[in-house]
Amino acid sequence: MNNKQNSSGRHFGFISTRFAGTDGVSLEAKKWAHVLSCSGHESYWFAGKLDTDPSRSMLVPQVFFEDEENRRINAQIFGRRDRSRECTQRIYELKEKIKDNIYEFIDKFGVEILVAQNCLTIPMHLPLGLALTEVIVESRLPTIAHHHDFHWERDRFAITAVPDYLHMAFPPKLQNIQHVVINTSAREQLAHRTGITSLVIPNVLDFDLVPPTVDDFSASFRKDIGLADDDVLILQPTRIVSRKGIEHAIELMRRLKNPKCKLVISHDAGDEGLEYQEFLTDYAAGVGVDMRIVSRQVSSMRSEDKELGKHYTLWDAYLHADLITYPSLYEGFGNAFLEAVYFRKPLLVNRYSIYIRDIEPKGFNVVEMNGYVTRAVVDEVRKILEDAEYRQNMVEQNFELGRKYYSYEVLERRLNHILSVIFGLE
């Protein structure tokens, strides 16, 4: 990747409801900013929740999707088809306030290019999307709209009292917006539903960065989650939501019939409700599978507390894993897939649609299942766990493919292409 500064650096203004923590939008946005900085550009941040450099950021709490006023608005516009005049007025008033904030952000940091991170995609914060759309129209600033998941992909937005606003701003069809999606299916659906053309930029990792190794801090991870050194740590590195298909990981464990195998889930259900988590807990107990949810020990950054003990990162968990399970029913792309490849870990994948179309053709060597755990799947997992040479050849092959197709160099080339379109560069 080009690490030289250039004299034609631009000021990019990243806008979303949140740039903080380990959610996919925050992670990918920061990767974009890193790649842009290596080409001499400057990035600035606007959101309702931030963990970015304060000197380059503008925090507007009412822009966070969990802000109380936004939650009240969402309760009145989704899951119902009627909208009151009062609700429309509340949307308008909040939109106007946020619009003023965005203009202040642009002026404060001399923003030349706006980067809308999923806030013109999924209507988690409707007034923000409306405000930003109007700013894009009025300012004529070139804009990159990075779309991670559209409202038509989520059942909770299917019934709505704001079809007019969704048509206007999620996403808006404007000449000064370059649209980016993360998979081929999204590109096709966007074109079919709106007539908008887009460029596919997949999620990426810095494959040129040497992966960390177990150090003094992370060495105690297994012990702290109650595992012995010779236990087989099978890691499910996701939140507990039903589309992750975690019951398949439990079924794999059941059929392995190895008491040394422990299924470790890195995150809990979060704000998605506890029903699925309770189902998994009962199911695992019923079939005799040792399943451990270690969300109390896994955080966005390392820390240590005298009473609570250590908080490890997800990357610390990867370092200790013997196998990664990723039996998702649906994914927009699949960050956990890339992370497993980066850490050179063998991987079980359910062939979700985006994997079939965008990832599988690249030739990755993983254990594949088609919606259920077969005898062949179980036998392949056993071979991986027992045959070190076979396992090593598999993960090295995958790492090289990851470097080829999902590295920062790939992101840099595609961002440079977008900038050449925007500014007419050679």
Write out the DSSP string of 149-216: --GGG-GGGSSBS-HHHHHHHSS---TTEEEEESSHHHHHHHHHHH----EE------TTSPPP---T
Q: Which runs of consecutive H residues, i.e. helices, occur in 39-152?
A: 68-77, 85-109, 126-139
Q: Is residue 352 part of a domain?
A: yes
Above 90 in pLDDT, residue 214?
A: yes
pLDDT of residue 301: 87
Paired tokens of 130: 């409306």
Identify whether residues 383 and 416 lie together within a single domain: no
Expressed as residue numbers, the domain containing 347 is 218-405
Whether 281 and 175 share a structural domain? no
Distance CA 325, CA 395 (A): 14
Say whether pLDDT at 333 is over 90. no
Q: How many domains does the chain have?
A: 2
* Residues 310 and 222 occupy one common structural domain: yes
Least confident of 5-9, 14-18, 57-61, 193-197: 5-9
289: exposed, middle or buried (Cβ count in 10 Å: 0-12, 13-18, 19+): buried
| 362 inside domain | yes
Do 391 and 323 belong to one domain? yes
- Tokens of residue 195, six digits: 């007539």
Judged against a pLDDT cut of 50, whether residue 7 lies above it is answered with: no
Confidence of residue 22 (pLDDT cuts 50, 70, 90): confident
pLDDT in tens, 109-156: 999 999 999 999 999 999 999 999 999 999 999 999 999 999 999 889
Same domain, 226 and 301: yes
Measure the CA–CA gap between 253 and 370, rounded to whole angstroms: 17
pTM of the model: 0.90
Reduced to 3 states (helix: H, G, I; strand: E, B; else coil), residue 33 is helix
Judge whether 277 lies within some domain.
Answer: yes
Tokens of 258: 């190895």
- Pair 101, 232 in one domain: no
Kindly report the average pLDDT of the chain as a whole number. 94
pLDDT above 90 covers a percentage of the chain that reads 90
Task: Go through the chain and tell me how many residues it has.
Answer: 426
Chain-centroid distance of CA 52 in Å reads 17
- 229 and 184, same structural domain? no
- Look at residue 84 and give its three-state secondary structure: coil
Rounded to the nearest 5°, which phi and psi values hold at 168? -75, -40
As a whole-number percent, the residues of the chain with pLDDT over 70 amount to 97
Inside any domain, residue 4: no
| CA distance linking residue 92 with residue 219, whole number of Å | 53
Same domain? 164 vs 238 = no
In a domain, 128, yes or no: yes
pLDDT average, residue stretch 203-216: 94
Residues 191 and 93 in one domain: yes
**Same domain, yes or no: 198 and 340:** no
Q: Is residue 152 part of a domain?
A: yes
Quick check: is 184 in a domain? yes
d(CA 171, CA 151): 10
- DSSP assignment letter at 420: H
User: Would residue 213 count as lying in a domain?
Assistant: no
* pLDDT of 65: 96
The CATH number covering residue 290 comes to 3.40.50.2000
Co-location of 59 and 112 in the same domain: yes
Mean per-residue pLDDT, 281-285: 97
Predicted confidence at residue 2, as pLDDT, reads 55
Judge if 33 and 105 occupy the same domain.
yes
Contact 320, 233 (CB under 8 A): yes
For residue range 51-110, list pLDDT tens digits in order: 999 999 999 999 999 999 999 999 999 999 999 999 999 999 999 999 999 999 999 999
Q: State the average pLDDT over residues 278-295.
A: 97
Give the least confident one: 237-251, 266-280, 336-350, 370-384: 266-280
